[in-house]
Structure 1
Amino acid sequence: MKKLIFLFLGLSLFSCSSDGTIDDNGSGGGSGGGNTTVDPFKATVDGISYVFTTLNNTNIADATGGLYGNTYFLIKGNKDTGSVKGNLSGKIDTKKYEIKLAIPKSNVAIGTHNFSNTIQPDEYYADLDITGVLPAQTVVASTGFIKITTYNATTKKIVGTFSFNTTDGSTTAITHTITGSFDYVLP
């Protein structure tokens, strides 16, 4: 009888399943706006891969263009690396990355587009900000590209990859190498 009870309990444990599955293929569920992907913004910074948080936890681009102006869509991701280091003042610093991709509203097209090293009308631009460390790190995007692999003009969904290097702003030496992917909706 005991063997029968244990057999029944064992079968019960293995036959139960959860209905709350996670869609890892990026297609999302439901309809309408909001976050339609599991990880809409991923990037590798200097060889370390991260999943970035997005504005308001959605994958909807900023239509105001942020500091780049209203002629751009702004795709932005933030990552607090959680890595700490001591400094001379005895404080503990946490390195935070913010990646911004400026997409000109007048030039949204499938294909590979080079990043300009300064913000220019109708040109694509990338930026990396690093905060939370002392001394502060100044970086300037130097070379790179964005590759839009999918753009649906009806749903405004845009999917692609990006890659760029930065310098410290005063020399041409590469300070950071960034690659990543995005899956967003343009408002």
Structure 2
Amino acid sequence: MKKILTLILVAALAVSCNSDDDTPSGGTGETFPMSATVDGQVFSMGPENGGNLSDPSGGMFGSEYHLLEGHKLVNIVGALTSKEPIVQYDYYVRLAIPKTDIAVGTYDFTNPQLPNGYFADLEITSDSAGEGEDEVTADGRIIVNSWDSTTGRLKGTFEFTTNDGLTATETHVVTGSFNYILADE
């Protein structure tokens, strides 16, 4: 009888635990705050320094924004033989979230970025290949699914396309989700 009662108690505890917000606000959990799919390739991404905190400096977008950055180092083995060197590419997905008037909703954007507007960027670099790719965001959307102003937790999804900046030819399709704590300055 004790075994059955213990089993029921353990099952009840397991069901009642909510893993949705399992990363502490300090950003020390093992989960990744961003998941991105670039041209069908799925990446779990986080800031280069780890955690799940936004960059309140706004990074390349400026101090009026929270920067949500996902980073993933990808190793690609040479195509002809297994003896070819591994080429490393750094993928960066960056989302600009305005610091004012954050609310649940859908925010469409085009290039150039509008003042106080949501925006997204893809950067692919490679030190080992000697170059990366020049990518320019064409258009897209950021959907804020939930915003808790008390905890600073922002969750949502994004989708955008890029081109080479010279033609309108689409070069990458990027989709994904995010779950960050917007850090104070």
TM-score normalised by the chain length of structure 1: 0.78
Matched, 1:66 2:59: yes
- The aligned residue for residue 45 of structure 1 is 38
Query: Structure 2: how far apart are the matches of 1:176 and 1:158?
Result: 25
Which is higher, the Rg of structure 1 or of structure 2? 1
Q: What letter matches 2:175 in structure 1?
A: T
TM-score normalised by the chain length of structure 2: 0.79
- The aligned residue for residue 76 of structure 1 is 69
- The aligned residue for residue 142 of structure 2 is 146
Query: Structure 1: how far apart are the matches of 2:134 and 2:59?
Result: 19
After superposition, the C-alpha distances for 1:25-57 in whole angstroms (9 at most, x for unaligned) are: 33216x643245722111000001111132421
* Aligned length in residues: 163
Tell me the CA shift for residue 24 of structure 1: 8.7
- The aligned residue for residue 120 of structure 1 is 114
Tell me the CA shift for residue 82 of structure 1: 1.2
Tell me the CA shift for residue 135 of structure 1: 4.9
- The aligned residue for residue 91 of structure 2 is 97
Unpaired runs of 5+ residues, structure 1, are 1-20
Query: Structure 1: how far apart are the matches of 2:31 and 2:85?
Result: 35
- The aligned residue for residue 20 of structure 2 is 26
Matched, 1:166 2:159: no
Tell me the CA shift for residue 129 of structure 1: 0.4
Query: Structure 1: how far apart are the matches of 2:180 and 2:29?
Result: 8
Query: Structure 1: how far apart are the matches of 2:101 and 2:53?
Result: 18
Query: Structure 2: how far apart are the matches of 1:24 and 1:179?
Result: 25
User: Per the alignment, do residues 129 and 121 of structure 1 end up closer, same or farther by CA in structure 2, a change over 3 Å counting?
Assistant: same
Provide the alpha-carbon RMSD of the alignment.
Answer: 2.4
Query: Structure 2: how far apart are the matches of 1:123 and 1:160?
Result: 16
User: Per the alignment, do residues 116 and 108 of structure 1 end up closer, same or farther by CA in structure 2, a change over 3 Å counting?
Assistant: farther
The percentage of counterpart residues that share the same residue type is 36
Query: Structure 2: how far apart are the matches of 1:159 and 1:36?
Result: 16
